[in-house]
Structure formats: C-alpha cells, structure tokens
Amino acid sequence: MTTYYSEEHEWITVEGDTATLGITQHAADQLGEIVFVEQHGQGDEFDKGEEIGVIESVKAASEIYAPLDCEVIEVNGTLEETPGALNEAPEGDAWIYKIKLKDLSQLEDLMDLDGYKALIG
Amino acid sequence: MTDTPKRTPLYDLHVELGGKMVDFAGWEMPVQYPLGIMGEHKQCREKAALFDVSHMGQVILKGENVGEKLEAICPQAYATLKEGKARYGFFTNDDGGIMDDLIVSNAGDHFFVVVNASMRHQDIPHMAANLDGVEVTEIFDRALVAVQGPAAEEVVGSLCPAVRELKFMETTVAEILGAECRISRLGYTGEDGYEISIPEDRAVEVSRAFLAHEDCEAAGLGARDSLRLEAGLCLYGNDIDTTTSPIEASLNWAIQKRRKEEGGFPGADRIQRELAEGAARKLVGIKPEGRAPARHGVEVQSLEGNTIGEITSGGFGPTVGGPVAMGYVAKGHGAPGEKVNLIIRGKAQPAEIVALPFVQQNYKR
C-alpha cells in the first residue's frame, strides 16, 4: 500500500489497481467545520480533474476533483449522516470513496508525503 | 480596492486569542477563533459571546429637532423616539430601495447612529447633505463591542449593574472600569445582549474583563452571520439593497403606523402602494429538507419547475442543526408550508417556505 497526494489536497492509498480516496487533514482544517458532503454514486466514472464531489463547511462549498481517471466502486455512506467526521479523521475512517484506477501511470503525477508536506509548507 | 485593510482597537487582542483574520468591508476582522464557528454560535445561544463590531460606523447627530429631520430620509418615526430609546431603521432612496439599515438612539442632547461598515462612506455624506442644521460627526476614537447571549446581563452587569435595568432597545451611558461607555440593550443575533461603545484606549481592558467572565467567549464574523440568519435578520448587501424595498424585504414592522399613513420619506409612493397592494416579491424563510446548504444566488423554483425567486442568505444553522436560508419569492408564493425546489449545483433539492425566525428571538422586553 502506498499513499499519494494531489495538489488539490486529496490522498489516495493504492493497493493494486484500487485505491481509497479522501481529503487531507490540512484540507479539512482549512475548510472549517464540515456540515455536508455531496458524493457521486457507485459505478460513476471520472476523468482526471473532473469534480467528484462537494464538501460544504459552515463557511463555503468546496469541490473535490478526481486526482486521476477512476471509477467509484464504493461510497462511504456514513458521511451523509456524520459529515463532521471529515474534520476528525479525514485520513482515516472518513474516507470518501474507494475507486478503481484506470491508468496507473497517472500515479507518477502525484506527490509522496514529503512532496505534499513541502507543498503545504 | 487596494487599500490596506483597517484595524480596530481590538486587533491585537483578536490575534492574541487566535482569531483567523480576514478582510471584511476594508477591515481586518476575525472570522472565527479556535473555538470555531459552530462552537462560537452555540456559545452565544447558550451563554454569552463577545463580538468586535468596531468596523461599523458610529455617528453623533447634534442640532435642533434631529429626529424630525431624520424622518425626511428614513421611514421611521424618529421624531417621537423618546430619550433613552433606540430604534432600527433604514435610509430609503427615491425609488423606495434601501440605501442602508441602521440603529438610531435618542441620547438626549444628541442622536447616536450606528451604520454598516460597508456603507459608512455613503451614509455619513448622505446625512450631512440632508440633515439641515445638524452637525454630523463620525466617531473614530471609540470601539464598539457586542456582548450577546442569555448570560450577557450577567457578564456586563457584573461590571456595570446599571445595565440590568435596561430593557430591549434602551440605551444609557454608564462607566465600566471607569471608562465612560454608551450601552444599548440590542444586537443582531436574536439573543438578549448589549452593544457597547467604548473609548478606544480602554476597549481592550473592558473586553478582557468581559472575556474573563466564565460564561463569555470571543466570537467572530462567521458566528455573527449564522446567528443573524437563524434570527431571520437581514444582512445589508445580501438580503436588502437599493433594489429591494422594505415591504419586499418583509420589514413592514420597522415602519411605524404614522409614517405608513403619512409618508413624507424617499420612495413613499412605492412603499405605500406596496403596503396597500402587496409587493411583487417577498423575503421569506426557506428550510431545505435535505442537508445541503443553499447559499446566496441559488434559484428557487415552484414544484412545476418555474423560477419564482432566489436565495439571498443561506448556510448551516448550528442551533437548527441543519441548513437554513432566506430569499425572495414572487407574489402568489411564499405562504409558510409551501413546498419549493432549490437548484443547487444543477439539481433540484426539496425545501419548504417557513415563517421567520428559525430560532425564537430571546429579547428582554
């Protein structure tokens, strides 16, 4: 299992050609208290850079984007009732999707933890 | 605007308390503290919260018959506003639109007016030009803080017992820690509380004394916005502006009977006509049925799919525990209980028209 990070403050932990996707603690902290998560459904497919969901905090709505071409294979349904979990454990229990990766070579465009830490300073 | 944002006398205190500072109407203000918007919101509903509102314009009006003269530019009955009383109002333009909303207090030998930060530049010259023989003085050397919440009387009263005697919309001058303050029992959160004008060199000391009370915490603009929204109070620039009339904005209650009947203020033709015949649209409370907040600009549709209005303020209501919104809907719509759809990111989300406020106002009448 390897974890990669995007410039849009998402993480994906990859196992074979599937991965778990979520937002980083840094992103959650910046958004503030999260009150609603809009998720797409299982089976929906996305190109890299497409909007794959919306997170609403008490302050504003923020989109999340597909870090690479993917298909949603599982949606974390617990976020509908407890969106605040995204503030508590965005890199743990409050993952957003499990996805199937379509082009593993796109992983090269993502960052490792050190790269991401450098990005957020 | 490339001007450097201005700082209030409490700026250093905000930073010390961990306030997240943002530019608001040209002022560097705390949007929240480490407690967070929801925590600060609940603090205000359950105990007491202190807000810095020094960015708002404080104005002294001195002269003969100030209240009567104000009636020429406001539809409120300020000529009959008794000494020691405050009254919400607004400046209207010739089209019956709202130029700004304000609080006017009769302070005996003068009138004390508080206007929005974003409209100071307009309101001060507007008053100076239209209040003949009245000296209009903008105050730059006093902070303005609001202590709001059910424990506000305890927090402020522990330092200044005189405030316990004030009722909602009453104002007085009293000393707090030896500093001469103007204290008015009002606010914009839907809770009991006070707005206190303090000499700038004593503002930090007095604010610290309030915050030292176990029931009082600092709160920022984020909580101020969600509190006023739940209380069904309009935000100038969002819910009301020069294109909205007070009748459209459901502010009929803020125009006293004599003024409704006699007119004699800018835009009286339209306002009196709308009072008689109804306005083309009306500001109403809108409660989304799902969890998605509906924010400013979201389209409101009838169940048949016709556009009937627009959300002007919306977000998450921490006390309600879900999304809340206000918006305009066309004449013929807007009865409490009416089902509508809100178009959020292209999708229709069910919602219901509700009576305002979302949270019962808790004033000391």
The answer on B348 and B202 residing in a single domain is no
Using a CB-CB distance cutoff of 8 angstroms, which residues of chain B are in contact with residue A58?
36-38, 222, 226, 315-316, 318
Residue among A30, A36, A58, A81 with most chain B CBs within 10 A, to mutate: A58
pLDDT band per the 50, 70, 90 thresholds, residue A121: confident
Residue B232 resides in a domain:
no
Cβ contacts of B31 on chain A, cutoff 8 Å: 59
Strand partners, A100: A18, A71
Q: How many domains does chain B have?
A: 2
pLDDT over 90 at B2, yes or no? no
Say what the pLDDT of residue B199 is: 98
Picking from A30, A33, A34 by the largest number of B CB atoms within 10 A of its own CB, the best residue to mutate is A33
Mean pLDDT throughout B353-360? 96
- Chain B residues near residue A61 by CB distance under 8 angstroms: 293, 295
Inform me whether the C-beta atom of residue A78 falls under 8 Å from chain B C-beta atoms.
no
Instruction: Report whether B194 contacts B146 (CB < 8 A).
Output: yes
C-beta of residue B271 within 8 angstroms of C-beta of residue B245: yes
- pLDDT band at B25, cuts 50/70/90? very high
**Dist. CA A95–CA A113, nearest whole Å:** 17
Distance CA B310, CA B322 (A): 19
Are residues B7 and B117 located together in one domain of the fold?
Answer: yes
Segment (H or E) for B301 = strand B299-301
Average pLDDT of chain B to the nearest whole number: 97
Residue of chain A with shortest Cα separation from B323: A35
* Chain B residue numbers touching A33 (CB-CB < 8 A): 36-38
Question: What pLDDT, on a 0 to 100 scale, did the predictor assign at position B253?
Answer: 96
Res. A59 pLDDT band, cuts 50 70 90: confident
- Give a yes or no: residue B360 inside a domain: no
Give the pLDDT confidence score for residue B51 in this predicted structure.
Answer: 98
- State pLDDT tens for residues B318-330: 999 999 999 999 9
Residues B295 and B206 in one domain: no
Q: pTM for this one?
A: 0.94
Query: Quick one: B86 and B43 in the same domain?
Result: yes
**Do B185 and B296 share a domain, yes or no?**
no
> Does B205 lie in the same domain as B78?
yes
B236 domain residue, yes or no: no
Chain segment A6-55, per-residue pLDDT in tens: 999 999 999 999 999 999 999 999 999 999 999 999 999 999 999 999 99
pLDDT-derived band at B198, boundaries 50, 70, 90 = very high
Q: Which of B188, B61, B54 is nearest to B113 (CA)?
A: B61
Residue range A84-111: average pLDDT? 97
Inspect the interface and report whether the beta carbons of A35 and B36 lie closer than 8 Å.
Answer: no
Closest CA to A64 of A35, A93, A39: A39
- B49 & B146 share domain: yes
| Contact call for A59 and B31, based on CB within 8 A | yes
Give mean pLDDT, residues B289-303: 96
CATH number for the domain spanning B281: value is 2.40.30.110
Residue B237 located in a structural domain: no
Q: What is the mean pLDDT of residues B46-70?
A: 98
Give the pLDDT confidence score for residue B296 in this predicted structure. 96
Q: Answer yes or no: is B40 within a domain.
A: yes
B239-250 residues labelled b (16+ CB within 10 A) or e (exposed): bbeeebbbbbbb
Q: B317 to chain A, minimum CA–CA distance in Å?
A: 8
* Closest among B246, B218, B222 to B75, alpha carbons compared: B246
Work out the percent of chain B whose per-residue pLDDT is above 90.
98
Q: What is the pLDDT of residue A50?
A: 96
pLDDT over 70 at B153, yes or no: yes
Residues of B within an 8 Å Cβ radius of A? 31-32, 36-38, 222, 226, 291-293, 295, 315-316, 318, 323, 345
Residues B82 and B161 in one domain: yes
**Shared domain check, B266 and B192:** no
- pLDDT at B342 exceeding the cut of 60: yes
Which tens digits make up the pLDDT trace of B76-125?
A: 999 999 999 999 999 999 999 999 999 999 999 999 999 999 999 999 99
Best CA proximity match to B303, nearest among B346, B349, B354, B336: B349
Chain A residues whose CB is inside 8 A of the B292 CB are: 36, 38, 56
Same domain, B110 and B35: yes
Parse chain A into domains and list their residue ranges.
2-107
Average pLDDT estimate for B161-169: 97
For residues B33-48, average pLDDT: 97
Check pLDDT > 90 for residue B331.
yes
pLDDT at B365: 87
CATH code for the structural domain at A2-107:
2.40.50.100
Range of the domain at B154: 1-227
Q: What angle, 0 to 180 degrees and rounded to 10, lies between the N-to-C axes of helices B37-46 and B221-230?
A: 60
CA gap A80, A55 in Å, rounded: 11
Provide the token pair at B54: 């020094």
- Whole-number percent of chain A with pLDDT over 70: 100
Cβ-Cβ contacts under 8 Å for B133 (sequence gap 6 or more): B63, B64, B69
Q: Rounded to 5 degrees, what angle do the CA atoms B304, B306, B311 make?
A: 115
pLDDT more than 70, % of chain B: 99
Of the partner residues A32, A38, A83, the one whose CB lies closest to the CB of residue B37:
A32
Question: Average of pLDDT values for B24-37?
Answer: 96
**Does any CB of chain B come closer than 8 Å to the CB of residue A88?**
no
Q: In this structure, is residue B240 part of a structural domain? A: no
Residues B185 and B219 in one domain: yes
The ipTM, to two decimals, is 0.85
Average pLDDT over every residue of B230-250: 97
What number is the average pLDDT over the span B267-275? 98
The CATH number for B129's domain is 3.30.1360.120
- Tell me the average pLDDT across B39-56: 98
